[in-house]
Amino acid sequence: MKKLALITGGAGFIGSHLAERLIYEGYHVVALDNLSTGNRDNLIHLLNHPQFELVIGDISVEADLAPLVEQADIIFHLAAAVGVRLIVDNPLESMMTNIRGTEMVLEQARKWNKRTIVASTSEVYGKNAKVPYTEDDDLVYGNTTKTRWSYACSKAIDEFLAIAHYRECGLPVTIVRYFNTVGARQSDQYGMVLPTFVNQALCGEPITVHGEGTQRRTFTHIADTADATYRLAMNENSAGEVFNVGGSIEISIMDLARKIIERTNSSSTIQRIPYEEAFKNNGFEDMQRRVPDCSKLDKKIGYKPRYSLDNMIDSVIEYYQPVERRAALA
């Protein structure tokens, strides 16, 4: 009997890679996506696969979601507003998508008692200065006039909803907090830093660093993210828990820009842009460091990041290489 996995947001960057992994593991995969930020092209290689189906629909519409949840053996809830640029420019839509959508998915999952994985984000830690972050650290947010924190709060509410469903209703749900997942198919459209820098470098444009560039981040290869997500889903003892999924190599945004220029052999210069200019009238606020402690994940599933930062950058360069050729012909 076939096993069926439902991925909400399945046409997104992470969703499309997770679909590949699940198919490899023998699952029939249904990807539900309204294509607002997901892209059909992410799934072009799967559309004719006998174990894959793309359903265009919305998680906030019960008629779209409920029949798929009923049929599924497991649910991966990845549908969400993504990217700093989208979130800062459209905070209301982002919050409603995250909160209402997750509420609907959990309600349907509870109805049928379906194993569920809820994707969260490192953004929930806010500007807590204590790093590396462990899953039981406090979440520290700024003033409500700072739009950046609306996304973090909405994802924290998603986590509260998931944990409440586990504790009060026995729903077997696990939360994964992703830290800067990167790789092929990640769009530069919504402010994702690595594909944005790579695209700028390949086109010979100035690489735009917001603020002073001293902010420090770690990055995670999409293959490591998909692997950890799948293995947590298969581990029933992970239900009711939260796990960081991230990398171990920390780098400043300025050094990342320099490294990308080097690896693309680009003539690009680096241009610093003040936050108030980059995010006009939106009350943007950033955090200086975002570094995960993944020891809990390691203890649970034996997680070790397998890819170097150079590997990650090169995979994005390879994906965007046609842009370089178009720029050369322009």
Q: Which residues in the chain are classed under CATH 3.40.50.720?
A: 3-182+220-245
Identify the residue whose tokens are 């809990």.
296
Identify the residue whose tokens are 């530069």.
188
Mean pLDDT of 44-55: 97
Q: Which residues in the chain are classed under CATH 3.90.25.10?
A: 193-215+249-289+307-329
How far CA 74 is from CA of 77, 205, 318, in Å, comes to 10, 44, 33
Element (H, E) at 252: strand 250-252
Mean pLDDT of 223-230: 98
Q: How many C-beta neighbours within 10 Å does residue 129 have?
A: 9
Distance between CA 84 and CA 26 in Å, rounded?
Answer: 35
From the list 151, 178, 303, 320, the catalytic residue is 151
DSSP symbol at 133: B
133 catalytic? Reply is no
Residues 27 and 1: beta-carbon distance below 8 Å? no
Distance between CA 309 and CA 207 in Å, rounded?
Answer: 18
pLDDT in tens, 283-320: 567 788 999 999 999 999 999 999 999 999 999 999 99
pLDDT band at 17 (very low <50, low <70, confident <90, very high): very high
Mean pLDDT of 272-284: 73
Residue 329: per-residue pLDDT: 35
Mean pLDDT of 212-237: 97
Determine phi and psi for 273, rounding to 5 degrees: -125, 120
Residue 209 pairs in a beta bridge with 272
**CATH topology for the 3-182+220-245 domain:** Rossmann fold (3.40.50)
**What whole-number percentage of the chain has pLDDT above 70?**
93
Identify the residue whose tokens are 């995250």.
98
Element (H, E) at 268: none
Residue 282: per-residue pLDDT: 59
pLDDT band at 219 (very low <50, low <70, confident <90, very high): very high
pLDDT in tens, 95-133: 888 899 999 999 999 999 999 999 999 999 999 999 999
pLDDT band at 280 (very low <50, low <70, confident <90, very high): low
The answer as to CATH 3.40.50.11030 being correct for domain 193-215+249-289+307-329 is no
pLDDT in tens, 138-177: 999 988 888 778 888 999 999 999 999 999 999 999 999 9
Average pLDDT over the chain reads: 92
